[in-house]
Amino acid sequence: MPICVPDALPAVNLLRDENVFIMSNSRANRQEIRPLKLLFLNLMPKKIETENQFLRLLSNSPLQIDIDLLRIDQRESKNTPSEHLDSFYVDFDDIQHLNYDGLIITGAPLGKIPFNEVIYWDKFKTILIWAQHHVTSTLLFCWAAQAALNIIYGLPKLVRQQKLSGVFDHYITDNKAILTRGFDDHFWAPHSRYADFPSDMICKQTNLTILAESKVAGAYLMTTDDRRMVFVTGHPEYDALTLANEYFRDLDAGLNPSIPENYFPHNDITKSAQIRWRSHAYLLFSNWLNYYVYQVTPYDLMTREITIDE
């Protein structure tokens, strides 16, 4: 898929080296098609790393996509140069009058912080409510998924005593669901969170359909019947070394972290982890783009009439 992003974005060279098709704005403008318009709200501290991860997964589709990068506020970042944010990110005030085909909201390292103590909690709620009227489908990950469950369904913030870290076996709960079309009955996905997502609580207190879950990690993939919102409790976007980097970071900080489960061969931290979730990560994103965005979004984004067809 041709991803259309600013030529100077650091992800461009990295992804081109991986043979991912990145299209220049000038070339995209010459094509007589309407690209999908995606908004990407990046809540992770290492924004460039996160951009690379998500743009890579968005690449596995024949659709052309224009992506706007959104920042939650104007606070100075400790992990991302201000020049990068000023050059490539937009503020909500700049785009709130627009409509988008899709919105992706990343996780955030806020697992132990009460929602009302999150500095940008009110802005997050504003964007989430705005998305229900301005976006065809929204894809939320980890903390963003937990926060949205609280805002929309009133679910409490459940915090695990120990951080869930590792790569876990998941199983499909609906073999006919189009979002998991092509998935194996069992598949692996990474998690790194304190948040808890018990499947029974999701079933009893929301109208969401759970499409995949894990005996260890709980509910993993959930969706509304109208496909307007998708909740992913894990991190399918993670690179092979992301969990290792988090583990060694916490180890150096004296936090005594547990070794990520099912990750290092024989739990030997001196050995390189092998990625085994990549194929399903790509498939999740391509299915979402196709069935939840492209197939239902209006051609004229100024209209919000969306028809769901099986």
Query: What is the Cα–Cα distance from 58 to 289, expressed in whole angstroms?
Result: 8
Was 163 annotated as part of a binding site? yes
For the chain, the first-to-last Cα distance in angstroms comes to 24
Was 47 annotated as part of a binding site? no
- 197 CB-contact burial (10 Å; exposed 0-12 / middle 13-18 / buried 19+): buried
> Largest Cα–Cα distance of the chain, in whole Å?
56
Radius of gyration of the chain (CA): 19
Catalytic, out of 4, 51, 134, 142: 142
User: Residue 235 catalytic?
Assistant: yes
Catalytic, out of 4, 134, 170, 237: 237
Was 249 annotated as part of a binding site? yes
- Yes or no: say if 61 and 1 are a contact pair by the CB < 8 Å rule: yes
Query: What is the Cα–Cα distance from 54 to 38, expressed in whole angstroms?
Result: 12
User: Residue 142 catalytic?
Assistant: yes
Query: What is the Cα–Cα distance from 109 to 250, expressed in whole angstroms?
Result: 13
Query: What is the Cα–Cα distance from 137 to 68, expressed in whole angstroms?
Result: 15
Q: Is 243 helix (H, G, I), strand (E, B) or coil?
A: helix
**Binding-site residues for substrate:** 163, 192, 249
**Binding-site residues:** 163, 192, 249
Residues annotated catalytic, as ranges = 142, 235, 237
